[in-house]
Amino acid sequence: MDDTLQGKVALVTGAARRIGAAIARRLHACGANVIVHYRGAEQDAARLEKELNAARAGSALRVKGDLLAPIAPKAVISAALERWQRLDLLVNNASAFYPTPVDAVTPTQWDELFAANVRAPFFLAQAAAPRLAEREGAIVNIVDIYAERPLADYSIYSMTKAALAMMTKSLARELGPRVRVNGVAPGAVLWPDSGKSYAAREELIARTPLKRTGSPEDVAGAVLWLLRDAPFVTGEIVRVDGGRHLSI
């Protein structure tokens, strides 16, 4: 543990599990108080909240919210302000991911993916911006390498992440100089439950210069760097993909 983020308050969306939980743990280990946002993973969120508070009493708060609801962004931000009267850091990690083959995709799927992956982070940033500006705070959006090169059968998802990448750059321009906005684009870090076969995974790894998958902690480290150690960096998207973008 260190105290380089001591006194700061970080909101991490989708923080109950996987990459979001790794980010929450990393920021907390550096002294930040953490809002653990979740939608449905109640038990996971409760366990993480308990874990963080056991390490440092009163340093974590879980907040449930469906970010597709119009009132949710302001409500989640309000929870941080009610508890700690400040907000310094926002990590837009929550995301929806599922296949949408062109011959079968529905308008409902289009609306759901764009709402979760584009609308929600935008309006969270809007709601957080005044408070972040008070603290010269920062936002990190979790993008995806598929924002640049689309994934087959995931056209809508890929489009949403491309929109999130442009949002990152646009908000960096709009919210500067008081708020920095950057992104992290993971590659092969965690496989979805219904994802690639073992053979397909091995083939993908073989085409990655570092010849391995990454970990949630790799993503968390990049997020921490952008939030804490890069005061002259804004509007950038850092790939955390083992060099995979060089070969896909």
Domain ranges of the chain: 9-192+215-242
Phi then psi for residue 142, to 5 deg, are -90, 110
**Mean pLDDT, rounded, for 183-211:** 69
- Counting residues of the chain whose pLDDT is more than 90, the rounded percentage is 82
Is 157 designated active site? yes
CA distances from 155 to 71, 107, 143, 144, 187 (A): 29, 13, 15, 13, 17
pLDDT for the residue numbered 188: 76
pLDDT for the residue numbered 214: 83
Between CA 186 and CA 190 the distance in angstroms is 9
pTM of the model: 0.93
User: Superfamily for 9-192+215-242?
Assistant: NAD(P)-binding Rossmann-like Domain (3.40.50.720)
Closest CA to 95 of 18, 42, 205: 18
**Mean pLDDT, rounded, for 3-10:** 95
Beta bridge partners of 64: 38
**Tokens standing for residue 6:** 């001591």
pLDDT, tens digit, 9 for 90 and up, residues 187-199: 877 655 555 555 5
Of the listed 38, 146, 157, 198, which one is catalytic? 157
Maximum alpha-carbon separation in the chain:
52
